[in-house]
Chains A and B, each alone.
Chain A
Amino acid sequence: MNSTTVIVGASLAGINAARTLRLQGHVGSIIVVDADSERPYDRPPLSKQMLTGEWEPEKILLPAGKEDLDLEFRLGVRAKAVDLGARQITLEGADGTVANTAFDSLVIASGASARRLPDSAGIAGVHVVRTLADSLALRAELEAGPSRVVVIGAGFIGAEVASSCRKRGIEVTLVEAMPLPLERILGAEMGRVCAQVHIENGVDLRLGTGVLQLETETVDGVEKVVGVALTDGTTIATEIVVVGIGVTLNVDWLEGSGLTLDDGVVCDNTLLAAPGVVAAGDIARYPSARFGRMLRVEHWETAIAGGEAAARRLLAEASGETPVVFDPIPWFWSDQYDRKIQLAGRPMPTDTCVVVHGSTDEFRFVALYGDGDRLTGVLGMNRPRHVIQLRALFEEGASFSEACERAATL
């Protein structure tokens, strides 16, 4: 392939797409654009080792970003619009200059941004955790030794931030609007187990409670957060609020491009969104035959696999080879306190959930999810080997009952 490829997003999906393109024979120029001016870095440590202070930024640089792959990085540069007919992308530099760049093929890997609370912009002490700058800003305030941190949202990021604060000995109030944490992902039974993990680790967990408003004070012209008023009528005094209420997808630059945008960039089952245009990572929505529905997966491993697959898709298009279907088994981990949670598959919260190994009382177990006799998920807490071994059952097409039998032999 000797042509110009533009990749928007120099994070996990984009950088792995670039690497695969180059290593698999793309000889033309590969331009990697990212609005973030940092060298490509890994995000999972941002809520974990970076917040606890165990790791420094140097340690989270993505390995592929350090390899000599002859990539043309344009960091601190934002994609503003794309014209697929004219094969031109509009880029805005950090200094505000706008210029068009021509391309033959395009990789969309612009991922997601953290959702913020409405009307919270510019209030000191209110944080999200998505970028290195976010993580370093929060860490600096944690180092000042606050008496309490209020974390809003008990999803994976919120839970990890709570955990990192507890490791520093800081009191934490964790506020979740739903009756149980992670219920929409893991179901009620496992949501209860996750709630218990927080409580065992000394977190003040407030479930089924929303945020009414942030209480602020203005000192020397700076508006600072001083408390959080909750819908249950209580107010919690705090100097630091961390908001973990999900993401918004970075699709603004694709509006009007003609691509189908529907909770992500809609692709076919090979990650192709339009001729010569592929998408990967958090932003890509694709049909999964394995799970019988459209999926958009916000996991680390899927971003790598998607970046690689999207690159291969472009190469196949150029060479006329038959493209490969993208349908991996979603898998992710989350580190909370001394527990490692791993989930393989994509269960629905209403699926049957059976503990097949260990016990939830010890927070060391494996549970399987099934929809009828279809295996939909493998969840483990501090049982990584079992999760990885049972994940292979998806490939083998094992049924839920077969998976339960197999789990008993591990």
Chain B
Amino acid sequence: MRIVVDFDLCESNAVCMGIAPEIFEVRDDDFLYVLDENPPESMRAKMEESVQRCPKQAISIAED
């Protein structure tokens, strides 16, 4: 599973960071950083929750 963020859509509201701080981090420059683009399978539920809860529909999961 690979995490893809559309940075044109992302507005750095940190919702994903609230769900999975191990993967998503909004820093002091107000940009979102994806800390691990290939999270372990054990994180799938949290990644799916992040996809659903992103108010900008900016996150998707690619299977490759």
Binding site for B on A (CB under 8 A): 16, 44, 63-64, 300-301, 304, 333, 335, 340, 342, 382, 384-385, 387-389, 391-392
Contact = CB atoms under 8 A, between A and B. Distances in A.
Given A391-B18, A392-B18, A384 B12 contact: yes
B14 to A, nearest CB: 4
Interface string B43-64: 0000000011101010000000
Contacts of A392: 18
A226 B57 CA distance: 40
Contacts of B14: 384-385, 387-389
Given A385-B14, A388-B17, A333 B55 contact: yes
A304 B52 contact: yes
A351 B52 CA distance: 33
A340 B11 contact: yes
B26 interface: yes
Contacts of A16: 52
A63 B55 contact: no
A44 B15 CA distance: 15
Nearest to B17: A388
B18 A388 contact: yes
Interface string B1-21: 000000000011111011000
Contacts of B28: 385
A278 B28 CA distance: 42
Contacts of A384: 12-14, 26, 30
B57 A63 contact: yes
B26 A44 contact: no
Contacts of B30: 382, 384-385
A304 B53 contact: yes
Contacts of B51: 63
A363 to B, nearest CB: 14
Sorted nearest first, the 9 A-B pairs with minimum C-beta distance are A388-B14, A388-B18, A385-B26, A384-B14, A384-B13, A385-B14, A388-B17, A333-B13, A63-B57
A64, A333, A384, A389: most-surrounded residue (chain B CB, <10 A): A384
Contacts of A340: 11, 13
Nearest to B9: A59
